[in-house]
């Protein structure tokens, strides 16, 4: 089997590494080590790449959730709600849900759900927030 490590290092050296989307010299939307994600230039992601990124980001969100002392005591459906929120909005915005977080820590599921619904985030994501709030309140997962 061919060892592609030297090629990989060379590509990173030549392309550079960018941690957010940028336009290359042709105006092509690109990310990482020169990954063309611009459909106008034949780029994009395939299902394997999308699944990998999503699963990696879920794992990162779970790691952030584990910093909350109450997280480990939640049932799986409520854990998934917290991880989904962290995945969707990131740790800084999630940390701003003071009432919801306090309610979760106290096991006040109705209050936690109400705090979720009363947020600007809920108006941004609509049905997603409604479903997640219902799961938080009931403790029963809904696909």
Q: Give the Cβ contact number of residue 114 at 10 Å.
A: 17
Report the pLDDT value the prediction gives residue 123, as an integer from 0 to 100.
Answer: 97
Domains in the chain, please, with CATH? 5-41 (no CATH), 47-138 (1.10.530.40)
pLDDT in tens, 42-59: 999 999 999 999 999 999
How much of the chain exceeds pLDDT 70, in percent?
Answer: 100
The CA distances from residue 99 to 22, 26, 96, 119, in Å, are 37, 48, 9, 10
């Amino acid at each position: 089997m061919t060892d592609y490590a030297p090629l990989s290092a060379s590509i990173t050296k030549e392309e550079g590494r960018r941690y957010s989307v940028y336009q290359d010299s042709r105006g092509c939307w690109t990310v990482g080590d020169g990954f063309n994600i611009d459909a106008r230039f034949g780029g994009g992601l395939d299902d394997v790449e999308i699944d990998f990124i999503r699963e990696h980001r879920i794992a990162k969100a779970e790691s952030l959730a584990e910093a909350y002392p109450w997280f480990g005591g939640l049932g799986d459906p409520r854990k998934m709600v917290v991880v989904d929120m962290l995945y969707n909005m990131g740790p800084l915005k999630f940390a701003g849900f003071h009432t919801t977080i306090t309610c979760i820590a106290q096991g006040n599921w109705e209050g936690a759900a109400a705090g979720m619904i009363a947020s600007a985030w809920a108006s941004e994501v609509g049905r997603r927030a409604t479903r997640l709030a219902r799961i938080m309140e009931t403790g029963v997962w809904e696909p």
